[in-house]
């Protein structure tokens, strides 16, 4: 199985929150799409569109309307929808996804030092393929995280300009996930 570091070509990941933005993401520099929208009826179609554009797609399991947070749901996603991987805040789903052959991104909200410590303890225990930290505009914290864990760091949330992207990458992030459509065209 490939590793996430092997599939990152553009260090910008298009984080798509609305169906209308899928076409823009497909035209962007991003070769990885984080899909944060959809439901049981539409998500497979979205995934197929991304794959047809020769881009890798990760679905944020927590945001797919009608999809339960269960082992069976993960197995369904892996077998029927076949994304490259999943994103989730729910650590119990990571191992199920890995067993089903999906790459995994553990999303962590860093609200304070306690959240950082707990998040790293969980990541150490469940071993996702990458950690996505939010907010992504904290270069000093990104730098600290890269020293505390061997896992690749993706920074996302509140990223609003190219300078913030470059600061996150210089701090050691593997990539930056951005919901701002104009940032999907930054060439890094």
pLDDT in tens, 6-16: 999 999 999 99
Q: How confident is the model at residue 153 (pLDDT cuts 50, 70, 90)?
A: very high
pTM: 0.96
Round to whole Å and give the CA distance between 46 and 82: 11
Q: Does domain 4-181 have CATH number 3.20.20.70?
A: yes
What is the band of 154 on the pLDDT scale with cuts at 50, 70, 90?
very high
In angstroms, the CA 89 to CA 106 distance is 6
End-to-end CA distance of the chain: 25
Mark 24-51 as b/e (b = at least 16 C-beta within 10 Å). Answer: ebbebebbbbbbbbbeeeebeebbebbe
Res 2: pLDDT: 73
pLDDT in tens, 34-52: 999 999 999 999 999 999 9
Structure tokens at 124: 């150490």
The CA distance from 121 to 106, in Å, is 12
Domain limits of the chain? 4-181
Percent of the chain with pLDDT over 70: 99
96, containing H or E segment: helix 91-99
Instruction: Dump pLDDT digits (tens) for 101-124.
Output: 999 999 999 999 999 999 999 999
């Amino acid at each position: 199985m490939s590793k996430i570091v092997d599939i990152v070509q553009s260090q910008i990941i298009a984080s798509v929150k609305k169906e209308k933005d899928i076409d823009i993401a497909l035209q962007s520099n991003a070769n990885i799409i984080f899909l944060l929208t959809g439901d049981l009826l539409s998500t497979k179609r979205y995934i197929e569109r991304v794959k047809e554009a020769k881009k890798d797609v990760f679905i944020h399991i927590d945001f797919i309307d009608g999809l339960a947070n269960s082992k069976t749901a993960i197995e369904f996603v892996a077998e029927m929808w076949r994304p490259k991987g999943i994103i989730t805040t729910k650590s119990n789903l990571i191992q199920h996804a890995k067993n089903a052959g999906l790459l995994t991104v553990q999303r962590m909200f860093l609200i304070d030092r306690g959240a950082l410590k707990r998040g790293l303890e969980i990541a150490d225990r469940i071993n996702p393929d990458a950690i996505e930290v939010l907010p992504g505009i904290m270069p000093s914290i990104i730098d600290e995280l890269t020293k505390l864990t061997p896992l690749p760091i993706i920074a996302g949330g509140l990223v609003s300009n190219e300078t913030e992207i470059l600061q996150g990458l210089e701090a050691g992030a593997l990539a930056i996930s951005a919901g701002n459509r104009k940032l999907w065209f930054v060439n890094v």
